[in-house]
């Protein structure tokens, strides 16, 4: 079976995107071609739904997940199986080494390039994932903000070392609660960057990131938020956490640690990976393992809650309860809406 190669890019310095921008302009196409976006909380069935839909529409899937870009982060990110990737072309999976950076601006340009390539082959781009920040960037354009100032960044980092990450996160909550709810106190990089932006501009991050929040006219967006009722979803999340640990998540983290996981400030704070690293730093007895399990489950539930909160603010997304409609019916509903418009 011939599979279309993924849109893999050579890593370039942060902020250097001229080759990608030039490449995007080389794709001839009609304006406002259709693109499907499928978002949803963890463990809601997005992957299975996207595979069904891709087969129905002749689609290709673009991962919209901030951690699936890293090679080796397989179990903890619920990365789609190699068998599924052989059946349906997937993009933006396994495109970075664990010691390389990948941010929302990288995602924006690489996802756009993948979309243009897919459309040029008369296929349907289907963006699938749970990272709301990436979906928003894809629809409204990459976030703005002034260049970093080393002196201010260093001062904030020293404050975090002295006062702790909780103190700076609480400061962010006071100054910009709308943005603070979209991240966690463990994402030190984003907390510091947000405080740096507000120091430099005197404005809230949530006010300047995407301006008036007018979607780009690049595509005809068909946006769906897939969900299940909270109680059912939380049970599925807890079961998935247990499965990941049984599949060898701790061993996966051990291997990634040897490759530089701890030096990647984003990947090392990812849910599941952070808890495993804390476990490996400690006594590693039965009590510590039970604590790992409980913390992993709690962090996963909290993340799902933040995903619900985030997408309630995204007016382009239609909500679809896949506990009422099974995945085949849900995929058919999305397909019918796609063709009806």
pLDDT of 1 over the 70 cut = no
pLDDT of 28 over the 50 cut = no
List, in sequence order, the alpha helices (H) in the chain.
Answer: 18-24, 46-57, 82-87, 104-120, 132-140, 150-163, 165-175, 177-180, 188-201, 205-208, 230-247, 249-259, 273-281, 286-312, 327-340
pTM, to two decimals: 0.79
Pair 293, 328 in one domain: no
More confident residue, 3 or 30: 30
- The parent domain of residue 154 ranges over 150-208
Over pLDDT 90: what percentage of the chain? 71
pLDDT of 233 over the 90 cut = yes
Q: What is the average per-residue pLDDT within 50-77?
A: 97
Assess if residue 101 is contained within a domain: yes
* Among 173, 208, 243, residue at a domain's last position: 208
Assess if residue 222 is contained within a domain: yes
Pair 186, 238 in one domain: no
Pair 76, 224 in one domain: yes
User: HSE on the CB side for 155, CA within 13 Å?
Assistant: 8
Q: What is the dihedral of CA 1, 107, 45, 37, to 10 degrees?
A: -90
Confidence of residue 3 (pLDDT cuts 50, 70, 90): very low
Pair 104, 52 in one domain: yes
Assess if residue 200 is contained within a domain: yes
Domain count, the chain: 3
Assess if residue 61 is contained within a domain: yes
pLDDT tens for residues 75-107? 999 999 999 999 999 999 999 999 998 888 899
Pair 169, 86 in one domain: no
């Amino acid at each position: 079976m011939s599979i279309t190669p993924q849109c893999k890019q050579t890593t370039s310095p942060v902020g250097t995107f001229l080759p990608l921008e030039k490449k995007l302009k080389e794709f001839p196409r009609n304006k406002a071609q259709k693109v499907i976006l499928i978002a949803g909380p963890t463990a809601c069935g997005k992957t299975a739904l996207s595979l069904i839909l891709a087969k129905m529409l002749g689609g290709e899937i673009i991962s919209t997940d901030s951690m699936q870009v890293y090679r080796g982060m397989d179990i903890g990110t619920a990365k789609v199986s190699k068998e599924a990737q052989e059946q349906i072309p997937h993009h933006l999976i396994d495109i970075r080494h664990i010691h390389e950076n990948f941010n929302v601006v990288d995602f924006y340009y690489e996802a756009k390039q993948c979309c243009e390539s897919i459309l040029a082959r008369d296929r349907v781009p289907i963006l699938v994932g749970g990272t709301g920040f990436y979906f928003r960037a894809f629809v409204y354009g990459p976030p703005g903000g002034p260049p970093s100032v080393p002196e201010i960044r260093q001062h904030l980092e020293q404050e975090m070392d002295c006062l702790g990450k909780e103190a700076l996160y609480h400061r962010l909550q006071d100054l910009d609660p709308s943005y603070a709810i979209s991240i966690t106190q463990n994402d030190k990089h984003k907390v510091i960057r947000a405080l740096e932006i507000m120091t430099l501009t005197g404005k809230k991050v949530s006010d300047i990131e995407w301006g008036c929040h007018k979607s780009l006219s690049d595509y005809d967006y068909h946006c769906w938020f897939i969900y299940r009722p909270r109680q059912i979803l939380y049970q599925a999340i807890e079961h998935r956490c247990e499965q990941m640990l049984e599949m060898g998540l701790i061993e996966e983290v051990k291997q990634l640690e040897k490759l530089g996981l701890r030096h990647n400030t984003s990947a090392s704070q990812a849910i599941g990976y952070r808890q495993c690293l804390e476990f490996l730093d400690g006594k590693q007895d039965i009590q510590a393992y039970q604590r790992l399990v409980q913390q992993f489950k709690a962090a996963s539930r909290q993340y799902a809650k933040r995903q619900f909160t985030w997408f309630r603010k995204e007016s382009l997304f239609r909500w679809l309860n896949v506990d009422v409609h099974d995945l085949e019916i849900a995929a058919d509903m999305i397909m019918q809406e796609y063709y009806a418009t």
